[in-house]
Chain A
Amino acid sequence: MVSKLSRSRFSGVLASFVGLVILAVLPGFVDPYSLRIVTGVLMWAGLACAWNIVGGYAGYISFGHSAFFGIGAYVTGILMQRDLGIPFLATLPLGILVAVGVAAAIGGPTMRLRGAYFAIATWAFAEMLMQVAIILDITGGTAGLSLPAYLNEFFFYYTMLVVALLAYLGTWYLLERTRFGFRLKALRDHEPAAEAMGIHTTLVKVQAFALSAGITSLFGSIYAYWVTFIDPRSVMGPEITDQMVVMVLLGGLGTVWGPALGATVLWLINRYIWSELGDTTIYLPILGLIIAMIVLFLPNGLISLLPGGRRGGGLMGRLLRKL
């Protein structure tokens, strides 16, 4: 038993190491276009990871995470305008600070709402913020905002890689190895019982929400500098949240590595459609179809199909067990 466990742990460590090496040397072996795709995978994996903290571990389905992505993007975008000229790296902590501040401020009252009420409230909040971005002058309104161009794909690849890795290691450690994770899972599964264990559920929920918002905002900042042009739709539109939700559901809600898996699969599909069909609109109905199919047939996500994954449930799980 012990040797079997340590052997599986050893192979896990080995696989992670090989994966890391591949990721580290990848830019030397692929063309710039492919590198952009992988950079995108890393970003979406990180975003899915952030959403999963609230959606998967705390059990609160947020339809408003695009707000935090947009906050990061706009903080960086606005601060890097010529008249302010603040360097990119300095804008990152400020973006996080604003996002965490907003999340902490709205988290308390918003997370008193349960289930669908929370989903509606976060959605309304995100749409509201997008309207604000449209109306304000400082954001450039619907005309958008251009950032100083920095055309170094390696820089963005490695930035996304480091941030995504930190996000995953950080959440893995926090949620699977510390008391914080137990607090979150307890309140997800039964909030009154968690309170009866002495868990200050409101505080823990807000902490999780702020953590998730901070990570989301960080990716928003990097994204803005990467694409050098942002407007309300592209960084605050519902598509951002849509993708985060689908990636997590596809990979496996409430698992550490599921979001990375879901993000990889979905973003590759997205890029494939974009390059092969030259038409991104068909991606949306496919996205919707995937959500519906996942809910019907694979509620524990792709990761439940892997050996050692959490046991499968729903129709697909039952079918697989019958085979």
Chain B
Amino acid sequence: MDVLLQALLNGILIGGILICLTVGFQLTFGVLHVIDFAVGGWVMLGGYAAYWASRLLGIDPFISVFFVFALFTLIGCALGPLIYHVRTSRYARPDLMALAFTFGIFIMMRGGALWLWSFDSRSVGSVLSGASFSLGPVTVPLLRLSAFGMALLLGLGLFVLLYRTRFGLAVRAVAQNRDHAGLMGVDVKRVSAYVYGIYTGITASAGVLLATIYSVNPEVGVRYTLFAFFVAVLAGLGSVGGVLVAGLVLGLVESLVGTYVGTRYSLLVVFATLYLVLLISPKGILQRGI
């Protein structure tokens, strides 16, 4: 029973970060109609940024996460127009070309990390590492709890931005209908670039949090891209709300399989579930996808 409770708690805490990882991805799909294969790459780069900030400058990841957010938002804003250009180009299949483009960026990130920083896994230390407190039968690691809290904070920030600001209104208008929003005077290109920037910022921040809990190496990107796809597909592509449930589901699945079946099966279960969900119900279990 205690083992189960512990597994559930761990699953929920990780699930919170997975939600944070996928929210921006969904927003990008809703606004730009691009499936970003590079999503795991942003997670990985965020992790490395936190590692170097901690290693070279001695900044704790819970501080550097804000700088990482700002830095990657800028990078994303610079890259966004290119992706928008490809997606709205007059190529034969702009959707597939955009897919290939982000695929290329992803390979660049993964290969670049491999080239610069080798295969080695790097762990990012924080003052919170190792600290925990007991709550009845379960142990609550302070690090995971704080990471969970930070993820919630980021998600909340995005929510406020979307539903309480003029910019958010423009974003939602574009997500509803790009052409109409354009006619209403929304600068679709600029909004798309900003959305891509916010997405890269928030995803890299999730990467910082994940790097503090696990560690970071060039190969984690593939895994997190598939995790993001898993959450997004389960929620229905483009559905931001469904991510809340789907992220927790993935966190719990991973944690429970890891606890009861063995960690080496957890990836298999995740990929197999993703594949089956796609076959059975491509619009997501929650039927809220676009």
* A→B interface (CB under 8 Å): 59, 61, 63, 109-110, 112-113, 115-117, 119-121, 123-125, 127-128, 131-132, 134-135, 238, 242, 245-246, 249, 279, 281-292, 294-296, 299, 313-314
Contact = CB atoms under 8 A, between A and B. Distances in A.
A59 B97 CA distance: 11
B114 A284 contact: yes
A109 B103 contact: no
6 contacts: A128-B275, A134-B264, A287-B111, A291-B101, A295-B86, A313-B90
Contacts of A281: 111, 114-115, 118
A128 B271 contact: yes
A279 B115 CA distance: 8
A116 B107 contact: no
A287 B107 contact: yes
Interface of B: 35, 82, 85-86, 89-93, 95-101, 103-112, 114-115, 118, 222, 226, 229, 233, 237, 264-265, 267-268, 271-272, 274-275, 278-279, 282
6 closest Cβ pairs, A-B complex: A284-B111, A291-B104, A288-B108, A288-B107, A128-B271, A131-B268
Contact of B229 (A120, A238, A245, A285): A120
Contacts of B274: 120-121, 124
B109 to A, nearest CB: 7
A313 B93 CA distance: 12
A299 B91 contact: yes
A291 B107 contact: yes
B226 A291 contact: no
Contact of B109 (A59, A63, A246, A288): A288
Contacts, number: 138
A276 to B, nearest CB: 15
Contacts of A63: 103
A125 B99 contact: no
A117 B278 contact: yes
Most chain B CB neighbours (cut-off 10 Å) among A131, A249, A313? A131
Given A115-B96, A281-B111, A289-B104, A124 B271 contact: yes
A268 B90 CA distance: 32
Given A282-B111, A288-B107, A61 B100 contact: yes
Given A125-B275, A291-B104, A119 B115 contact: no
Given A119-B35, A128-B268, A292-B104, A61 B275 contact: no
A290 B99 CA distance: 14
A134 B265 CA distance: 10
A137 B233 CA distance: 32
Contact of B222 (A131, A238, A279, A282): A238
A113 B222 CA distance: 22
A312 to B, nearest CB: 12
A115 B100 contact: no
Nearest to B274: A124
Given A61-B96, A314-B91, 17 more contacts: A63-B103, A117-B282, A119-B35, A121-B275, A124-B275, A127-B222, A127-B271, A128-B272, A242-B107, A284-B111, A284-B115, A287-B104, A288-B109, A291-B107, A295-B98, A295-B100, A299-B89
A313 B107 CA distance: 24
Contacts of B237: 116-117
Contact of B95 (A116, A279, A284, A290): A116
